Structure 1
Amino acid sequence: MSKGDSLVIGNLQCVVLDCPDATGLARFYRELLGGEVNRPDRRWAVNDDFATLHTGAGLVLAFQRVADHRPARWPDGEHPQQVHLDLDVPDLDRAQEQALGLGATLLHVDPRGWRVLADPAGHPFCLLRG
């Protein structure tokens, strides 16, 4: 293999978020991103402990129930983010208002023009002007 060639070991199947309520968090992200919760898919068995969201953009998010889930506390290193999503939005104020209405929590308004929120399970996500 020459310099510059890359070896692909696999393809991203989905992003999995730990949470206390798999279906509830899948529904939260459906309202935020659109898509279909628990669409039949041979790759996953969905149940009370595992839910999926197939978005219109083709991204699949999965949600796994963890009984002793400890939410992140942004930016506290003792409870790190572990994963977060960046969402491009046309109107930051409107997107923030809608996300808060769905159960998100505002964590930070950055003076450079983006917002950090947490989903109902405590996972941080950012709203950026798209």
Structure 2
Amino acid sequence: MAVARLDIVVLDCPDPKALAGFYAELLGGEVEGADDARWVDLYVRDGTRLAFQRAEGFQPPRWPAADHDSQQLHLDLRVDDMAEAERAALALGAQALDTEDDGGKRGFRVYADPAGHPFCLVHP
């Protein structure tokens, strides 16, 4: 029996509204929170909720890194068309970190969002 249910994934960042906007364009959904808010929510169409919290002195994680500056967590985002999703993510401000997918055999590519959090575009 589960003790708890996952409610939300929260990402620390320097500008919550801007990062929520990036993910809203990438995933779809509605952003709620003032421009100067310390906390902004993104309600994705499938019912998922992401939140973005202002963190003073934020230092983005490094990918890959085995030391204390490791990625800490990442998001896997399932896509139907890898090339189309990559073009859109890069146009929105993502940075390519590891996009060699062995001709599609590996099934994922790694990027960083505008605040530096790693995420993967995953094709089944």
Secondary structure at 2:53's aligned position in 1?
strand
Partner of 2:41: 52
Partner of 2:84: 94
Larger Rg: 1
Distance 2:52 2:35 in 1: 10
Q: % of aligned pairs identical?
A: 51
TM-score with structure 2 setting the length: 0.89
Give the length in aligned residue pairs.
119
Query: Structure 1: 5+ residue runs without aligned partners?
Result: 1-5, 40-44
Change (3 A) 1:70 1:11: same
Distance 1:80 1:68 in 2: 17
Secondary structure at 1:31's aligned position in 2?
helix
- Give the CA deviation at 1:77: 2.5
Distance 1:15 1:46 in 2: 20
Partner of 1:114: 108
TM-score with structure 1 setting the length: 0.85
Residue type of the alignment partner of 1:73: R
Q: Could you say what the CA RMSD is over the residues aligned between the two structures, in angstroms?
A: 1.8
Query: Structure 2: 5+ residue runs without aligned partners?
Result: none
**Residues 46 and 52, structure 1, Cα contact 8 Å, conserved in 2:** no
Residue type of the alignment partner of 2:58: H
